[in-house]
Structure 1
């Protein structure tokens, strides 16, 4: 019997990218201080210093290797999921960030094999049963394709959460049990 496939995003799902990018932005451009709560959209051009492009904000060498874990439960819950399901990491990445993201994953979650690591921006092209993500651009197509989703809440997905009513994963504590319930409900439907 095939195990259910759980696709898990990296940035701002199992680790904190935006908060770390904001930290560097605020050190490099103190006249244009950003706050996490202000990140209401992916397009933050109006908030940043003119010299801070998307490439500068997210392209700092070494940025992806210094990211903090999402919370103290994420590693344990990801390992439980890995043991019960076919967990794949599906993460958007510029070519220079792929190695950094793999290094981060191996440091924190070495149980995830290379064959389960997919650098991919268009996640709807990947086959999975459940997507755990913070990006509306990934969650909405998954829902439209009839797939299960869990949304990691952040300011930039608030409007879509209200519009689509995504089920939320606000903490990784108890994530496996929550996902087990989702799949049990699916099997009895």
Structure 2
């Protein structure tokens, strides 16, 4: 019997990327401080200092290895999901950040094996039964194709969260119980 496939994003889903990038931005460009609440869209050009390009904002060497865990529950809940389901980590990555992301995973979740680690920006091309993500560009296509999703709420997905009514999870506490319910009760809408 095959297990359902749970696809889990990394950045701003199991760890905090945007908050850490803002931290470094505000040190480097104190005349253009950013706040997490300002990040209502992927295009942050109007918010940043002109010298803080996308490459500078997200391209700081070592950035992806220094990210904080999403919360104190994420590691244990991911361990439970890994035991119960066919868990894959699906993350968008630049070639230079792949190793950083893998190193982060091995430091915090060494139970994730290499064959479970997939770098892919267009997640709708993959087969999965449930997607946990923060990116509207991943959640909407999965949801519209009839697959189950869980949204990690952030300012940049608030509009889609309200429009589509995605099930959401602002903490990883009891995540496996929520996923069990969503997968075993086809009418479940949290």
The two structures share one fold, judged by TM-score above 0.5: yes
The TM tier, using the shorter chain, reads: over 0.9
Task: Report the counterpart of residue 87 of structure 2 in structure 1.
Answer: 87
What is the rounded CA distance, in whole Å, between the counterparts of 2:186 and 2:4 in structure 1?
11
Distance 1:187 1:116, change over 3 A: farther
* Secondary structure in 1 matching 2:186: helix
CA RMSD of aligned residues (A): 1.1
Task: Report the counterpart of residue 126 of structure 2 in structure 1.
Answer: 126
Task: Report the counterpart of residue 50 of structure 1 in structure 2.
Answer: 50
Unaligned runs of 5+ in 2: none
Alignment of 1:18-97 (within 5 A): 18-97=18-97
Superposition TM-score, scaled by structure 1 size: 0.98
Task: Report the counterpart of residue 165 of structure 2 in structure 1.
Answer: 165
Tell me how far 1:183 sits from its aligned partner.
1.1
Tell me how far 1:187 sits from its aligned partner.
9.2
Task: Report the counterpart of residue 145 of structure 1 in structure 2.
Answer: 145
Tell me how far 1:186 sits from its aligned partner.
2.5
What is the rounded CA distance, in whole Å, between the counterparts of 1:187 and 1:19 in structure 2?
35
* Secondary structure in 2 matching 1:46: coil
What is the rounded CA distance, in whole Å, between the counterparts of 1:187 and 1:155 in structure 2?
27
Unaligned runs of 5+ in 1: none
Superposition TM-score, scaled by structure 2 size: 0.97
Tell me how far 1:43 sits from its aligned partner.
0.4
